[in-house]
Amino acid sequence: MINISINIPVKPLLIGKVGKSYGILGWINIFSFTEEQEKIFNYLPWFFLKEKKWTKIQINNWKNHKNNFVVQIKNISDRSIVRKFTNSDIIISKYTLPVLQKNDYYWNDIIDCKVFNLDQIYLGTVINLMRIKNNDILILKNESKKFKKNILIPFIENHIIKNVNIKNKFILVQWK
């Protein structure tokens, strides 16, 4: 039996950020980027990435703290040691995520999709998404020479968003 330990993620996916240390016993603040914040703990192991250096992390314990979380990393019980992780990105292997049903996708799958309107006019490339109270918003890099600002399109399926094709990386929208 071969035991292989992977110390860098396969298909890295950003799911959070590390904040400052908490207390004197090696706990540290973390900020979750997952849709339901607590689900960040469903996607283990974590890899911290800071200054192009990867560190595989095992969580010993965690708790809610001021709308975010504090975690205790296994085998670290000293504030000065955990402090080196401040401002690290929290990365997982994409394969850690649950397999989705047909025609479902994750937000990160939409990044870099080309967006066209119903008149087959290219509007731009998705560079990010933003969550607001009523719906999500696609943020497109505007490649038109007329306008310099990014284009914001409400992500309202079947009304504005007509088709999302992850395989071919394009989105069809009802938008001018």
- Contact yes or no for 140/153 (Cβ under 8 A): yes
Residues 18 and 49: their CA atoms lie apart, in Å, by 10
Average pLDDT, the chain: 89
Which segment of 34-48, 85-99, 130-144, 155-169 scores lowest on mean pLDDT? 130-144
- Residue 35, pLDDT score: 80
- Residue 59, pLDDT score: 94
Residues 46 and 33: their CA atoms lie apart, in Å, by 13
Segment 94-149, tens digit of pLDDT: 888 888 888 788 888 899 999 999 999 999 999 988 888 888 899 999 877 666 78
C-beta atoms surrounding 126 within 10 Å:
24
Q: Which domains does the chain have, with CATH numbers?
A: 12-96 (2.40.30.60), 107-173 (2.30.30.240)
- Contact yes or no for 59/72 (Cβ under 8 A): yes
- Residue 162, pLDDT score: 94
- Residue 100, pLDDT score: 82
